[in-house]
Amino acid sequence: MKLPFVKKNKGRIGIAFCDEGVTIGQCSWARGKYLNPVAHTILKKPKELTSSDWQNIMSSCSVFGTECAISLSPQIAHHQVLRMPNMDKVESKEAAAWEMADRIGVERSTLQIDAAQIGSGGDVLAIAIEQDTLSSLLEPIYEAGLQPTLIEAQSISVTRTMSMLHRRQSDQSIVRSVLDFGMKDSAFMVLAGHSLMFYKHLPYSGDMLIDSITSHTGVTVKQAMKMLRASSDSSEVDDISKAVRDATRGTHEAIATDAMKCIRHYGVTNRGPLSTKVIITGSAGWNTHLSAVLHLACNQEIVSDVSLNHVNSLPSATVQSSGWHIALGASLAELSEVQQRRGSDCSTKEAA
């Protein structure tokens, strides 16, 4: 959903909203690399932030400008994949609006809606948020002197981050799966080039893993978080790693089963090549035990987001910020698509 005063440029402020906090990010992009990336997480619920809070945040985050793109998580805005008949973008968006209003059980006039086509079979990803909720989030931002110019679904921001090296027309046959594994929920996506081809919201979360570890081992929540982090950072099999593996096996196997079903569903409903690897990202993302279970279930290469060529050059402080991949993706929301020369794959300097 575009807001009135849109001026296309790149490197604006990206703001990722979710229930447990807000991540602010900003970057530019040139020659296949991020330029001046910044990411900072504020552990305070978005609805609790005042205009003074936003002013203090902006002054301490080393970001520049006033224009910002906002990314909304499924915890903040309703996300739903809808099957729509063949129609133009405006009609599709309006049809999605009425469908979402009916599903949520509210008046159409109370919702702000956006819809993005996914795949080639007529599916759209609809995002709906109550206008009162949206106003309560935006008003303190406006009062702080910021100018939101774009609002999009979190999955669109993640898709952009994971596709920065696949923006050429010839890259559209390069298919990857992405598991965005967060502390509150998850999503499974299939990307072809820079396009989102499949999306499914999943109920699994990092909090579920923490709860499993505490109940299985009897440790505190803080200790469980440390144990999970240790198993993410090391491939060594010790007593802690075994305890984490045993405690989280059920959740990991459920994730792997759903991931396998998503890949199969994509293969049946979309013509074209299948994914060759699964990228794990998100604030609760990389875990050696999850990686092993996914590899067995999906029979694909499993890689962490930090192993991607354009991500591994980011400062560690950036990728350690929860939601960095969402905020940086939102920051580059207005990056113009590269125009290709006819009969070649040559592109401008901004191309990946």
State yes or no: pLDDT of 351 exceeds 50: no
State yes or no: pLDDT of 272 exceeds 90: no
Instruction: Taking residues 27-51, report their average pLDDT.
Output: 92
CATH number of the domain to which 53 belongs = 3.30.420.380
Q: Which pLDDT score, from 0 to 100, does residue 152 have?
A: 93
One domain, residues 144 and 286? no
Q: Dihedral sign for Cα 123, 124, 125, 128, please.
A: negative
Instruction: Taking residues 44-48, report their average pLDDT.
Output: 91
Query: Rounded distance, CA 338 to CA 263, Å?
Result: 29
20 or 252, higher pLDDT: 252
How many domains is the chain partitioned into structurally? 2
Q: Which pLDDT score, from 0 to 100, does residue 237 have?
A: 67
Angle between helices 51-60 and 131-143 (to 10 degrees): 60
Domain residues for the domain of 299 are 199-304
Query: Smallest Cα–Cα separation from 270: which of 177, 205, 187?
Result: 177
Angle between helices 221-233 and 288-298 (to 10 degrees): 60
- Where does the pLDDT of residue 346 fall: very low under 50, low under 70, confident under 90, or very high at 90 and above? very low
One domain, residues 24 and 158? yes
What string of DSSP letters covers 149-209? EEEEEHHHHHHHHTTTT--SGGGGG-EEEEEEE-SS-EEEEEEETTEEEEEEEE---HHHH
Q: Which pLDDT score, from 0 to 100, does residue 153 have?
A: 93
Query: Rounded distance, CA 73 to CA 137, Å?
Result: 13
One domain, residues 126 and 204? no
Q: Which pLDDT score, from 0 to 100, does residue 234 have?
A: 62
Q: How many CB atoms lie within 10 A of CB 103?
A: 13
Instruction: Taking residues 315-327, report their average pLDDT.
Output: 92
Q: Which amino acid is at 192?
A: A
Q: Which pLDDT score, from 0 to 100, does residue 241 have?
A: 85
State yes or no: pLDDT of 235 exceeds 80: no
One domain, residues 151 and 239? no
Rg of the chain over CA atoms, in angstroms? 20
State yes or no: pLDDT of 342 exceeds 50: no
Domain annotation covers residue 175: no
Instruction: Taking residues 330-339, report their average pLDDT.
Output: 71
Query: Rounded distance, CA 216 to CA 36, Å?
Result: 43
One domain, residues 153 and 203? no
Q: Which amino acid is at 237?
A: V
CATH number of the domain to which 278 belongs = 3.30.420.40
Q: Which pLDDT score, from 0 to 100, does residue 68 have?
A: 94
Domain annotation covers residue 121: yes
Q: How many CB atoms lie within 10 A of CB 287?
A: 24
Instruction: Taking residues 296-301, report their average pLDDT.
Output: 94
Q: Which range, of 25-34, 61-70, 85-94, 316-325, averages the lowest pLDDT?
A: 85-94
One domain, residues 317 and 280? no
Q: Which pLDDT score, from 0 to 100, does residue 90 have?
A: 84
- Where does the pLDDT of residue 178 fall: very low under 50, low under 70, confident under 90, or very high at 90 and above? very high
State yes or no: pLDDT of 9 exceeds 50: no
Domain annotation covers residue 62: yes
pTM for this structure?
A: 0.89
Token output for 7: 């001026």
Query: Rounded distance, CA 86 to CA 77, Å?
Result: 25
Whether 334 and 9 have beta carbons less than 8 Å apart is answered as yes
